[in-house]
Structure 1
Amino acid sequence: MDLQNLRKQSAQELNDQLLELRREQFNLRMQKSAGQQTQTHHFQRVRKEIAQIKTLLTQKAKS
């Protein structure tokens, strides 16, 4: 995801995207526990995107 595109989105769209990323993170954890996950770089990507969205939501709430 591009940070500039995220800034243009509304708070509701960001919340929806955050929910989708949380589900993806859960699925990655389940794959890891089952021994099916071989591409571990996806964990870091999802965590980074979640942090970016949460930061933007906090900034929008303060303004």
Structure 2
Amino acid sequence: MKASELRAKDAAGLQTELESLLKAQFNLRMQRATQQLSNTSQLGKVRRDIARIRTIMTENAGK
């Protein structure tokens, strides 16, 4: 997910996207713990997307 796409969303849209990514991260962690996760790079991608959204939310809060 690109930062430009996220900047176009409003605060409610960012919050729903963040919640869905946090759920996805939890599911990926559970899959990794039970050795069901074959593509472990997905965890890093989700973590970066979460950080990207939180950064944009902080930027918008300062405006």
- Is TM (by shorter chain) over 0.5? yes
**Uncovered stretches (5+) of structure 2, i.e. residues with no partner:** none
Structure 2 length-normalised TM: 0.97
Deviation at 1:31, TM superposition (A): 0.3
Deviation at 1:12, TM superposition (A): 0.6
Tell me the C-alpha RMSD between the 2 structures.
Answer: 0.5
Determine if the alignment matches structure 1 residue 3 to structure 2 residue 35.
Answer: no
Question: Which segments of structure 1 move beyond 3 Å, counting only runs of 4 or more?
Answer: none
Structure 1 length-normalised TM: 0.97
- What amino acid does structure 2 have at the position aligned with 1:33? A
Q: Spell out the pairing of 1:4-43 with structure 2 (5 A cutoff).
A: 4-43=4-43
Deviation at 1:4, TM superposition (A): 0.6
**Uncovered stretches (5+) of structure 1, i.e. residues with no partner:** none
Deviation at 1:2, TM superposition (A): 1.5
Count of residues in Structure 1 that have an aligned counterpart in Structure 2: 63
Tell me which residue corresponds to 2:55. 55
Deviation at 1:25, TM superposition (A): 0.1
* Identical positions, percent: 38
Deviation at 1:13, TM superposition (A): 0.3
Hey, what's the Cα distance between the residues in 2 that align with 1:32 and 1:20?
A: 18
